[in-house]
Amino acid sequence: MGPGKRGLLTAAVTVVCAVTVLAAPGTAFAQAGGTTHAAQSPAPTPAASPAPSPAPSATPEATKKLEKVRDTLDRLYHDAAVATDAYNAAEEASKKQSAQIVALAKKIVEGQQKLENLKNQAGAAARSQYRTGGLPPTAELLLSDDPQQFLDGAGRVLQGQRATKNLLGEMTQTQADLKDYAADASSQWVKLEANRKAKAAAKKRIKKQIAAAEKLQSKLEKKEKEQLAALEQQAAYKSQTAWLDTGILKEINGKASAQGKQAVKYATAQLGKPYVWGAEGPASFDCSGLTSQAWAAAGHPIPRTSQEQWKQLKHVDVKDMRPGDLIIYFDDASHVAMYVGDGAIIHAPRPGRTVTVAGAGSMPILGVVRPDA
């Protein structure tokens, strides 16, 4: 087994153990970027657990250049994440609108059939009245040889008139319903077309940002790429350590719900699968594709995008979070990860990366939401 696979297996086993003990005290993940660092209480600090650093040969000028590259890459991938959320939202809306159009089409067909039947009934009633000659009731009474038979017939006529009136009313209502169905269908078609355009625009933005990022990275030498990776790890480590140094992990002791355990189990099983924008499994995922599918597997469907997960799910304090909860990142809610305990998350980071374990504080936290509140 190669070192990459051993590292992945180690991370997976570590997370499974963390899930099993459900945030048992004494262990904390201080390292981000897919590498876990376990340490005994108290929580690790930079002094106790040295931060990764660029290769020794990196000069200050080279480091400054690579920092600019890292900032640019972060911006490009962040913009791609925002566009991915927009694409996913348009995709979900398109699915709903398509389903609504199909349902309306069925109602229109059923309404047209009902109207045709009503017209046939109305025609039969009109023909029956024509056969009686349309005589006034007084004339029919004078001409009748059997007054009682006439009175019985008159009662039936009154019933028929009421039925005809109801029939005409039902026809009018059915015609109005058909008109409303047609208007609704037309409106949904307009929305569907707008979302198709939104999807196309978002897809174009995603590809543009990812292509720019890949082009920038392709210009780097192998040594520079290694130094850049070290800088990324260092930044994530610094952020995670600062988060742990607040003492927050001492306050987080929530235990996963039954559905939360199932969601964590699903997310853990996806470790190592590639990030692909717009993907929701089973072979690849984007960030919200992973979290939405994990909770769907737990029997509790949630919104598809990170922004809608932030808007629609119940917010909880960071100190109250438990395994299975979702951590939303960045001010625009453009990234989401699943908390799995011990200060760690599982997430699908960005293009070119795989579903991995990271420190919960390795990115700017916007807030925490609970799907099964």
Q: What percent of the chain has pLDDT over 70?
A: 72
User: Among 163, 167, 165, 156, which residue's Cα sits nearest to residue 132?
Assistant: 156
pLDDT digits (tens, 9 = 90+) for 6-26: 343 334 434 333 333 333 333
Give 326 or 139, the one with higher predicted confidence.
Answer: 326
Q: What is the mean pLDDT of residues 281-299?
A: 97
Q: What is the mean pLDDT of residues 149-156?
A: 54
Q: What is the pLDDT of residue 53?
A: 54
- Catalytic residue annotation: 287, 335, 347
Q: Which of 54-68, 137-151, 178-192 has the highest mean pLDDT?
A: 178-192
Average pLDDT, the chain: 79
User: Among 139, 119, 129, which residue's Cα sits nearest to residue 161?
Assistant: 129
Q: What is the pLDDT of residue 61?
A: 83
Tell me if 278 sits within 8 A of 267, measured CB to CB.
Answer: no
Q: Is 282 exposed, middle or buried (0-12, 13-18, 19+ CB in 10 A)?
A: exposed
| Beta-strand runs (E) in the chain | 314-316, 326-329, 335-341, 344-347, 356-359, 365-370
User: What is the rounded distance in angstroms from the CA atom of residue 85 to the CA atom of residue 195?
Assistant: 13
pLDDT digits (tens, 9 = 90+) for 321-373: 999 999 999 999 999 999 999 999 999 999 999 999 999 999 999 999 999 98
Q: What is the pLDDT of residue 46?
A: 31
Q: What is the pLDDT of residue 181?
A: 82
Q: What is the pLDDT of residue 39?
A: 31
User: What is the rounded distance in angstroms from the CA atom of residue 256 to the CA atom of residue 264?
Assistant: 9
Which residues are CB-neighbours of 299 under 8 A, at least 6 positions away? 259, 262
* Helix (H/G/I), strand (E/B), else coil: 271: coil
What number of H helices and E strands is found in the chain? 9, 6
Asked whether residue 48 carries a pLDDT value surpassing 50, the answer given is: no
